[in-house]
Amino acid sequence: AQSVTQLDSHVSVSEGTPVLLRCNYSSSYSPSLFWYVQHPNKGLQLLLKYTSAATLVKGINGFEAEFKKSETSFHLTKPSAHMSDAAEYFCVVSEGSGPYTSIFGTGTRLKVLA
């Protein structure tokens, strides 16, 4: 069975400082992993995805994530936070080829302080 854990429900950073949002997963297979961002009262936007190619994945808006099999982690990072990054972030693990095999994490709310 697969599972996903987002280790922090809330993260606060100052504008211009690095962002780290942590995600651990459990899977019996080689999973695909995704990060989504959701701004208030908006739908989700796909930031990046890992599908067994390069372990360091670059996404939109300067975000990237590194797949570490030994640590079963897929943490999301950004070198310098911007005010517009304030949002909810979801980590998703998928063992199959379709969304019906996917599980969303419970989300991490990122706050960016001026």
Partner 1 sequence: EAGVAQSPRYKIIEKRQSVAFWCNPISGHATLYWYQQILGQGPKLLIQFQNNGVVDDSQLPKDRFSAERLKGVDSTLKIQPAKLEDSAVYLCASSLEISSQPQHFGDGTRLSIL
Instruction: Specify which residues 78 forms β-bridges with.
Output: 19
Which position among 24, 27, 73, 94 is part of the footprint of partner 1 (CB under 8 A)?
94
Nearest approach, Cβ of residue 37 and partner 1 (Å): 11
- The stretch near partner 1 (CB under 8 A) out of 10-18, 66-74, 77-85, 92-100 is 92-100
Sign, Cα dihedral of 20, 22, 27, 33? negative
CA trace torsion 23, 27, 31, 37 (10° rounding): -30
Q: How far is CA 90 from CA 1, 56, 114, in A?
A: 19, 18, 23
Which residue in the set 13, 92, 110, 112 belongs to the binding site for partner 1 (CB under 8 A)?
Answer: 92
Positions in 11-70 near partner 1 (CB under 8 A): 32, 34, 41-46, 49
Residues contributing to the site for partner 1 (CB under 8 A): 32, 34, 41-46, 49, 90, 92, 94, 97-100, 102-107
